[in-house]
Chain A
Amino acid sequence: MVRKISVILIFLLSLPVACLPQNISAKSSVDKSSYLVGDYINYSISVMHDKSLNLVPPAIKDSLAGLSVLKIESPVNKDSNGVTFSSFNYILSGYDSAEINIPPIPVQYKSNGDTAFKTILTNPLQFLVSTVKINPSAQIKDVKAPIKIPLDWRIVALWILGIIALILIAYYLYRKYKLKKMLNPKTEKIIKLAPYQIALNSLKDLEEKKLWQQGLIKEYHSAITEIIRKYFEERFNLPALELTTSEALSLLKNKNDAAIILDVTKEFLNNADLVKFAKFVPLNSVNEEMLKQAYDIVNKTIDSGKLDPVIEVNDAQ
């Protein structure tokens, strides 16, 4: 009986030893203990085993709740003194803040003589994935700073050369223009007639047109008064074209040089007004008298200081 119990005890004690794989161990690890959301998590499973054992790369996808597998790297095997170090690396990432628990990952293996796979488990892992801490008092800034393009001195040099070239061209054109102007000076002589000369010429032109002789009496009186009003503008510096007869006469009274022509001007302008605005048809003698009066007004008020025409030389360019 005691023998039977001893055999059973020896069997039971030797059972777990018989179940353990021989010469194989598996370990999992991550590079940090805490991560930010979106960080790369380098997860690796390292298996140390006999060279005679064949490993099946562990399938981890279904075991990683809350993590995404971004990349599965090729296994790396290293032999040393009959022992092989197999390493399986994964890049994971988590997109929610959480405390992540990676459970023990089963690694399957078998020796050459075995028909079935055996399994060894890695150690479980625990780490933290957290969100970025926000500082509400901090200033708003770009997530990423603007990219700074490094200064290219070749482009700067090109610009400087271009500007210098433009300045040189402009200077060359300016010199050419000045030289041309010096060689071919162009001026325009303007002969500015004295007011009395303009008026006398205009009266002569009007006389030659023979307007009233053709029945254009109103036109004749309008033209003759316009000549005299223009003359007053130039000679006495008053806006006679914009003044009525009485206004013009009233302003003429204030001009010393005009005293001599006041009466004749009054008669002249009033007669013209009658023809222009009252359908008055004057006698031929009145029309002739109007011209005579106009000549009188001009001739009696010639400015002795402005007898000759003024010649103005203008730069025509």
Chain B
Amino acid sequence: MDISALNEKIKQESAFIDLLMNEIGKVIIGQKAMVERLIVGLLGNGHILLEGVPGLAKTLAIKSLSAAMKAKFQRIQFTPDLLPADLIGTMIYNQKDGNFFIRKGPIFSNFILADEINRAPAKVQSALLEAMQERQITIGDQTFKLEEPFLVLATQNPIEQEGTYPLPEAQVDRFMLKIKISYPSREEELKIMRQNVNDLEKIIQPVISPQDIMNARSLVHDIYIDEKIEKYILDIVFATRSPKDYGLDNLTGLISYGASPRATINLALGAKAMAFIKRRGYVIPEDVRGICLDVLRHRIAVTYEAEAEELSSESVIQEILNKVEVP
């Protein structure tokens, strides 16, 4: 497709982004970056891991998103005694006719909020992550395709790590983005306080349908990504694996393992989704840089030496972005 025509089409088709942002903005004060990345996850067909202290509107954000889309939403509180059957469903014996019937679990929804995913044992985490990857569930001898759009938003609390089951690196890699939520600004917090104290409850109206998202996804796939941008993405990912080749000698010995090819794919997809949100039919380096931290932060592990120097994966990524030449 011609880029100008694609640009035009995207400008028309992406009009819902503003509607969606405005609708969610009725209840979520601030956290614009989080909402934007939720939409990136939706458009990029990826799942999101959200990390933030309690009370930062993680649950409210996804609830509002599903309400604005008129989509099915389920919240699952992960606890140590949760079983895979509680999540995906099970077969129940019917005494009347002497047969088993399938009772589907809460995972059969468009939006899943897996609250405090690290509080459930590995078998439950695996069941969820398998469903995320395969987008289908098998109960007994029957396999069910999950309804699209299917977005899992898992939350993790960075504090109170006692009695938790941290997600293994291989499973964390399945999340397209890991978003870290920070506290709102003073002005935002004032608005939050007034809105809640004065009981100004806002009702979110559905402004788009799941089908709109599906259409937008196909447009996102069509967004042009130039060879220079592809090379830039590869440079960033490869710099996480062998920093020395990119003049980042100071990072040698600080990265225990770099980003996987899944990171490359998700970085390209995320950049395309960012371009869509910005109403462009092509990706520019800003799109890559804008989403880079959220795509890579959970895919890079730093060594004990780096931890001793109080260097996080974020600071490593920032250093890489400052060094790799922008096309």
Please list the residues of chain A having a beta carbon within 8 angstroms of any beta carbon in chain B: 222, 239, 241-247, 273, 276-280
| One of A239, A242, A243, A273 near B284 (C-beta < 8 A) | A273
Residues 249-291 of B at the A interface (beta carbon under 8 Å): 280-286, 289
Please name all residues of chain A whose beta carbon is closer than 8 Å to the beta carbon of B8 when the two chains form the complex.
Answer: none
- List 18 other contacts, CB 8 Å, given A242-B325, A244-B285, A278-B7: A239-B322, A241-B325, A241-B326, A242-B326, A243-B326, A244-B284, A246-B286, A247-B286, A276-B226, A277-B224, A277-B229, A277-B282, A277-B284, A278-B3, A278-B226, A279-B224, A280-B3, A280-B4
A242 in contact with B323 (CB, 8 Å): yes
B326 in contact with A244 (CB, 8 Å): yes
| A241-B325, A242-B326 known; A278+B281 contact, CB < 8 A | yes
Residues 113-171 of B at the A interface (beta carbon under 8 Å): none
Interface check B228, CB cutoff 8 A: yes
| One of A239, A246, A277 near B228 (C-beta < 8 A) | A277
| A277-B228, A279-B226 known; A244+B289 contact, CB < 8 A | yes
| A276-B226, A278-B3 known; A242+B322 contact, CB < 8 A | yes
A246 and B284 alpha carbons, distance in the complex (Å):
11
Please name all residues of chain B whose beta carbon is closer than 8 Å to the beta carbon of A222 when the two chains form the complex.
Answer: 228, 327
Please name all residues of chain A whose beta carbon is closer than 8 Å to the beta carbon of B322 when the two chains form the complex.
Answer: 239, 242
Please name all residues of chain B whose beta carbon is closer than 8 Å to the beta carbon of A247 when the two chains form the complex.
Answer: 286, 289
A279 in contact with B3 (CB, 8 Å): yes
B286 in contact with A276 (CB, 8 Å): no
A86 and B325 alpha carbons, distance in the complex (Å):
111
A244 in contact with B226 (CB, 8 Å): no
A278 and B8 alpha carbons, distance in the complex (Å):
13
Q: Interface extent on B, as a size class?
A: 20 to 34
B224 in contact with A244 (CB, 8 Å): no
Chain B residue with minimal CB distance to A229? B326
Please list the residues of chain B having a beta carbon within 8 angstroms of any beta carbon in chain A: 3-4, 7, 224, 226, 228-229, 280-286, 289, 321-327
A279 in contact with B284 (CB, 8 Å): no
A125 and B4 alpha carbons, distance in the complex (Å):
128
**Nearest 7 A/B pairs, CB to CB:** A278-B282, A244-B286, A277-B226, A244-B285, A278-B3, A279-B3, A277-B284
A246 and B280 alpha carbons, distance in the complex (Å):
15
Please name all residues of chain A whose beta carbon is closer than 8 Å to the beta carbon of B226 when the two chains form the complex.
Answer: 276-279
A277 and B226 alpha carbons, distance in the complex (Å):
5
Please name all residues of chain A whose beta carbon is closer than 8 Å to the beta carbon of B224 when the two chains form the complex.
Answer: 277-279
A247 and B286 alpha carbons, distance in the complex (Å):
8
A242 and B320 alpha carbons, distance in the complex (Å):
10
Chain A residue with minimal CB distance to B286? A244
| One of B3, B283, B284, B325 near A245 (C-beta < 8 A) | B284
A247 and B318 alpha carbons, distance in the complex (Å):
14
Chain A residue with minimal CB distance to B282? A278
Chain A residue with minimal CB distance to B285? A244
Q: How far is the CB of A249 from chain B (nearest CB, A)?
A: 11
A247 and B292 alpha carbons, distance in the complex (Å):
15
A241 and B321 alpha carbons, distance in the complex (Å):
11
Chain A residue with minimal CB distance to B324? A242
15 contacts between A and B (CB under 8 A): A242-B321, A242-B324, A245-B284, A245-B285, A247-B286, A247-B289, A276-B226, A277-B226, A277-B284, A278-B226, A278-B281, A279-B224, A279-B226, A279-B282, A280-B3
Q: How far is the CB of B318 from chain A (nearest CB, A)?
A: 11
Residue of A244, A276, A277, A280 ringed by the most chain B CB atoms within 10 A: A277
Q: How far is the CB of A238 from chain B (nearest CB, A)?
A: 12
Q: How far is the CB of A220 from chain B (nearest CB, A)?
A: 14
Please name all residues of chain B whose beta carbon is closer than 8 Å to the beta carbon of A242 when the two chains form the complex.
Answer: 321-326
Q: How far is the CB of A47 from chain B (nearest CB, A)?
A: 91
Chain B residue with minimal CB distance to A274? B282
A245 and B285 alpha carbons, distance in the complex (Å):
8
Chain B residue with minimal CB distance to A225? B327
Chain A residue with minimal CB distance to B225? A277
B323 in contact with A276 (CB, 8 Å): no
Please name all residues of chain A whose beta carbon is closer than 8 Å to the beta carbon of B326 when the two chains form the complex.
Answer: 241-244
Please name all residues of chain B whose beta carbon is closer than 8 Å to the beta carbon of A278 when the two chains form the complex.
Answer: 3, 7, 224, 226, 280-282
A280 and B7 alpha carbons, distance in the complex (Å):
11
Chain B residue with minimal CB distance to A270? B284
Chain A residue with minimal CB distance to B2? A279
Please name all residues of chain A whose beta carbon is closer than 8 Å to the beta carbon of B282 when the two chains form the complex.
Answer: 277-279
Q: How far is the CB of A2 from chain B (nearest CB, A)?
A: 125
A245 in contact with B286 (CB, 8 Å): yes
Please name all residues of chain A whose beta carbon is closer than 8 Å to the beta carbon of B321 when the two chains form the complex.
Answer: 242
Q: How far is the CB of A224 from chain B (nearest CB, A)?
A: 14
Q: How far is the CB of B69 from chain A (nearest CB, A)?
A: 30
Q: How far is the CB of B219 from chain A (nearest CB, A)?
A: 15
B283 in contact with A277 (CB, 8 Å): yes
Please name all residues of chain B whose beta carbon is closer than 8 Å to the beta carbon of A273 when the two chains form the complex.
Answer: 284
A68 and B284 alpha carbons, distance in the complex (Å):
103
A277 and B271 alpha carbons, distance in the complex (Å):
13
Residue of A222, A241, A242, A278 ringed by the most chain B CB atoms within 10 A: A278
